[in-house]
Each structure stands twice: as C-alpha cells, then as structure tokens.
C-alpha cells in the first residue's frame, strides 16, 4: 500500500474481487445470498435472520444480520480454501 488507501503503485500485480449480497424479505424472515467473484472462481453463501415477534419491525436490522452471517460464511470458506491449497502445495522433507 502507498498509504493513500489505494493500491500500491510500484508495478505490483493487483486483483479485484467483487462481493454481491442480495437480500430477500418474506414476513419476519430476511434471507441473504452472497457471492464472492474471484475472477477465475467464486464462492457462495446463504443465510437468514428471523425477527422475534415481540420486536418492532425494522427491516434494516434483519438485513444486517443476514448479510453479516453470509459474509462470515464466505470468510470461513476462504480460510478453508487457503488451508486446503497450503496442504496440497506443501512439500514434506524427505519425500
């Protein structure tokens, strides 16, 4: 990074990954579908939140919980993929 918050300008290779989160409301249930587009691959996650009947209807809160859960799932999927790739590409001494 160059300190400006943007990508480094030293000629390093950069990539852009895109996340799309679609939210769906059906009564007291908010569902989220998140897709991480990595260019040559993608990951998907689904999640939901349910409003407690005693709470006031506030759709933004359901959106936040459903989207947050889907994004957390994407993060865990990325970590598992990194672990699997590391194991697949680790050379054990003496073999």
pLDDT tens-digit map of 31-79 = 999 999 999 999 999 999 999 889 898 999 999 999 999 999 999 999 9
**pTM given for the model:** 0.80
Helix ranges restricted to H, the chain: 59-88
Q: What is the pLDDT of residue 92?
A: 78
pLDDT greater than 70 at residue 16: yes
Q: Which residue has the tokens 């459903």?
A: 66
Q: Count the neighbouring beta carbons within 10 Å of the beta carbon of residue 23.
A: 17
Nearest by Cα to 60 from 51, 69, 52: 51
């Amino acid at each position: 990074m160059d300190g400006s918050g943007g990508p480094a300008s030293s000629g390093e290779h950069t990539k852009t990954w895109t996340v799309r989160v679609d939210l769906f409301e059906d009564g007291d249930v908010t569902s989220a579908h998140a897709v991480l587009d990595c260019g040559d691959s993608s990951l998907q996650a689904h999640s939901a939140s349910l409003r407690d009947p005693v709470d006031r209807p506030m759709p933004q809160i359901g959106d936040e919980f459903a989207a947050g859960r889907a994004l957390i799932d994407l993060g865990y999927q990325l970590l598992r993929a990194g672990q699997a790739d590391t194991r697949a590409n680790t050379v054990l001494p003496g073999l």
